């Protein structure tokens, strides 16, 4: 098998044992890699009802058949687990040398279970794997710990690690790499911390073999050139995702004051244009010529890598309009291992709770110093309020009561990423049906929705568009494990990907076949959620936050706008119908059969009746 190494590494931290094993070719053919591998492994191997922070939970790192080859934006891997934040399927992708080095170790995936008896890290080198003592790394921030590991194992090593928040099992912790790359929003850092695992270091010496190396090299060269020739390339290189601040402000979708509003008076202070004047350098993921990490320095010369999501959530969403201050908060999150989106949401939630007299804390909108203190309190679970917010906004709101769930901005327990949807029903559906909770990764339809001229409407075409994007972004890209941004931002054509796959793996699949793969992966992820939630599962799980329906915008050109319950419900039903899911949002028996998931359907029938 070319393209795939055909091997995965199993690590049992409790026993200190590592085993390399071959996996069946059928797994590669039916689930491709990345997210596809992760959900299939979780479905098969994780006992239903497992406590996500127990040793029994699995932490999975999975590359895809394009990872690590010299083709655009292929330096990524998927991190997945049962989420301690949502209780369902959780994953994220991260662009990192670790992805490239994993493949240079002749591995496609790593499955980690158990719990090390003391703080440890994993050293994976070619065919060897060793559990090492991490006593002197535990407690260090993610930057310092990575520096130490690189000093010891060489600068070319790939490192995934957690900061203190992951060690403290803060449920909004991610896994970090290369000073600012992070992935696994739904608490993957807490899962790693619960296993006493500080870091994973990869060092490999063997390039992944390709079916047709000459053709792959040639395609790669052509593809890199095609990207640089795209009309938007130069602008993208200047601003990356940061141009979105101005676009969201113009369109009243910039999350402001805990998603109460879609416009922010100080948006200019945190915009891409402002950032352009401050950038000192840029950083990107391996094998990428789009290099979208823009780095600015704070007043003390400390660097911070910015992108749209973290600036909006740690800026307008909490009322901070100074980009250098946002940069400090962002850097703190990266060092401590906190997810920037969820942290911005938790701080915004706390500011609003304080304003309403529900939380006894001295903090107001735009209070940068208060936000800094709170951020540290969350990472170290310090005090009652730090401890409460470390659970994420859903749980914090439920514990607070007194109307707090009305302004906890999440879907299925995952805090919403940075798009206000008071007047974007299609994007609200995207958040509602995302397979990990409210994240924009799978179906970023907001740009299409606004430019369609039918923004306020609840038309079935919006459900179609969400599914189309989920198949491309959440299915194909997450399974091949390459970055979606060349396609969505620059219009790099999708038909490159079947060609890459053929040259890398010798497998001929049409684009439609690759996209259809996403349907299988989505159905299995949905089955996983239903299995884990059992009788608690309902159609309401696919609803966006109450605020967008019940509290209209009070400012800006869209003042008075809000979502409509009946309209959203119709849209959701159109989505279910198109996917072949029943009125509860569960794939029907027929759909499971069509997708070749009969065995999984039979297992699911032990938990819920299928229609
Ligand atoms: S476009 Fe940005 S996120 Fe995507 S691979 Fe390149 S540097 Fe990484």
**CB of 488 closer than 6 A to ligand 1?**
no
| d(CA 252, ligand 1 centre) in Å | 26
- Predicted local distance difference test score (pLDDT) of residue 1: 75
Mean pLDDT of the chain: 97
Q: What is the pLDDT of residues 93-123, one digit of tens each?
A: 999 999 999 999 999 999 999 999 999 999 9
pLDDT, tens digit, 9 for 90 and up, residues 533-549 = 999 999 999 999 999 99
Residue 223 near residue 289, CB atoms below 8 Å: no
Residue 129's SS3 state is strand
**Segment among 85-94, 207-216, 292-301, 602-611 with least mean pLDDT:** 292-301
Region of 287 on the Ramachandran plot (φ > 0 left; ψ -120 to 50 alpha; else beta): left
Q: How far is the CA of 263 from the centre of ligand 1 (A)?
A: 28
User: Residue 201: how many CB atoms within 10 A of its CB?
Assistant: 24
Q: Which atom of ligand 1 is closest in space to residue 489's alpha carbon?
A: 1
- For residue range 258-285, what is the model confidence (pLDDT) as tens digits? 999 999 999 999 999 999 999 999 999 9
Cα 470 from chain centroid? 14
Lowest mean pLDDT among 289-298, 316-325, 523-532: 289-298
Query: Do the bridges between strand 181-183 and strand 17-22 make them parallel or antiparallel, or are there none, so unpaired?
Result: unpaired
Residue 298 has pLDDT above 90, yes or no: no
pLDDT mean over 507-511: 95
pLDDT in tens, 431-450: 999 999 999 989 999 999 99
Q: Is 288 in the pocket of ligand 1 (CB under 6 A)?
A: yes
Nearest atom within ligand 1 for CA of residue 486: 1
Q: What is the mean pLDDT of residues 49-72?
A: 97
In the prediction, which pLDDT does 301 show? 85
> In the structure, how many helices (H) and strands (E) does the chain have?
27, 17
Distance, CA of 118 to CA of 352 (rounded, Å): 40
> For the segment 148-170, what is each residue's pLDDT rounded down to a tens digit?
999 999 999 999 999 999 999 99
Decide: 285 in ligand 1 pocket, CB within 6 A. yes
Percent pLDDT > 70 in the chain is 100
CA 232 to ligand 1 center in whole angstroms: 15
Q: How far is the CA of 173 from the centre of ligand 1 (A)?
A: 21
Q: Report how far residue 531's alpha carbon sits from residue 295's, in angstroms, rounded to the nearest whole number.
A: 43
Span 197-239, pLDDT tens digits: 999 999 999 999 999 999 999 999 999 999 999 999 999 999 9
* CB 485 near ligand 1, within 6 Å: yes
Instruction: Please give the biggest Cα pair distance in the chain.
Output: 66
Please report which confidence band the pLDDT of residue 245 belongs to, taking 50, 70 and 90 as the band edges.
very high
Give the pLDDT score at 153.
Answer: 98
CB burial of 112-144 (b: ≥16 within 10 Å; e: otherwise) equals bbbbbeebbbbbbbeeebebbebeebbebbbbe
Pocket test for ligand 1, best of 177, 485, 488 (most atoms within 8 A of CB): 485
Structure tokens at 548: 């967008």
Question: Global pTM?
Answer: 0.97
Mutate which of 95, 241, 287 for ligand 1 pocket (most atoms within 8 A of beta carbon)? 95
pLDDT of residue 300: 79
């Amino acid at each position: 098998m070319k393209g795939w190494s055909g091997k995965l590494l199993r690590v049992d931290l409790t026993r200190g044992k590592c085993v390399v094993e071959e996996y069946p070719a059928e797994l590669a053919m039916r689930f491709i890699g990345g997210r596809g591998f992760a959900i299939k492994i979780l479905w098969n191997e994780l006992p239903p009802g497992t406590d996500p922070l127990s040793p029994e939970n699995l932490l999975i790192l999975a590359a895809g058949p394009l990872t690590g080859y010299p083709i655009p934006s292929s330096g990524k891997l998927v991190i997945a687990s049962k989420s301690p934040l949502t209780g369902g399927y959780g994953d994220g992708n991260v662009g990192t040398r670790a992805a490239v080095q994993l493949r240079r170790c002749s591995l496609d995936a790593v499955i980690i279970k158990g719990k090390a008896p003391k703080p440890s890290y994993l050293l994976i080198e070619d065919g060897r794997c060793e559990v090492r003592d991490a006593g002197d790394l535990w407690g260090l921030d993610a930057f310092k710990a990575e520096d130490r590991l690189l000093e010891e194992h060489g600068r070319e090593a790939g490192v995934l690690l957690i900061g203190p928040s992951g060690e403290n099992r803060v449920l909004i912790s991610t896994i970090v790499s290369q000073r600012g790359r992070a992935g696994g929003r739904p608490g993957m850092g807490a899962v790693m911390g619960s296993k006493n695992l500080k870091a994973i270091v990869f060092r490999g010496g063997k390039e992944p073999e390709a079916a047709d190396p000459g053709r792959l090299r040639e395609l790669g060269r052509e593809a890199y050139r095609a990207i640089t020739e795209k009309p938007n390339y130069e602008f993208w290189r200047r601003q990356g995702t940061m141009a979105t601040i101005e676009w969201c402000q113009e369109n009243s979708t910039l999350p402001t004051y805990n998603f109460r509003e879609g416009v922010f008076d100080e948006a200019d202070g945190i915009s891409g244009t402002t950032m352009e004047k401050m950038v000192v350098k840029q950083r990107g993921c391996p094998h990428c010529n789009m290099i979208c990490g823009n780095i600015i320095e704070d007043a003390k010369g400390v660097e911070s890598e910015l992108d749209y999501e973290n600036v909006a959530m740690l800026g307008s969403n909490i009322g901070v309009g100074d980009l250098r201050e946002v940069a400090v908060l962002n850097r703190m999150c990266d060092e401590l291992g906190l997810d920037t989106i969820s942290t911005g949401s938790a701080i915004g939630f706390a500011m609003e709770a304080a304003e309403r007299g529900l939380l006894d804390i001295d903090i107001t909108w735009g209070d940068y110093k208060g936000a800094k203190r709170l951020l540290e309190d969350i990472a170290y679970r310090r005090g009652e309020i730090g401890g409460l917010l470390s659970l994420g906004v859903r749980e914090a709101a439920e514990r607070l009561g007194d109307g707090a769930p009305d302004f906890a901005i999440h879907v299925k327990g995952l805090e919403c990423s940075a798009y206000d949807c008071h007047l974007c029903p299609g994007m609200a559906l995207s958040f509602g049906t995302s397979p990990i909770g409210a994240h924009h990764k799978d179906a970023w339809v907001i740009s299409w929705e606004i430019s369609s001229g039918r923004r306020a409407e609840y038309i079935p075409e919006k459900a179609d568009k969400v599914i189309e994007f989920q198949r491309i972004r959440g299915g194909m890209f997450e399974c091949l494990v390459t970055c979606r941004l060349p396609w969505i931002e620059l219009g790099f054509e999708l038909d490159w990907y079947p060609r890459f796959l053929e040259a890398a793996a010798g497998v001929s699949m049409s684009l439609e076949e690759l996209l259809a793969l996403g349907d299988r992966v989505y159905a299995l992820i949905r089955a996983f959620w239903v299995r884990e939630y059992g009788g608690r599962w309902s159609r309401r799980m696919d609803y966006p936050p109450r605020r967008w329906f019940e509290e209209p915008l009070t400012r800006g050109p869209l003042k008075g706008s809000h979502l409509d319950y009946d309209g959203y419900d119709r849209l959701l039903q159109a989505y279910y119908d198109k996917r072949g899911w029943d009125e509860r949002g569960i794939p029907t028996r027929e759909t499971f059969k069509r997708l070749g998931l009969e065995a999984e359907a039979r297992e699911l029938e032990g938990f819920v009746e299928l229609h």
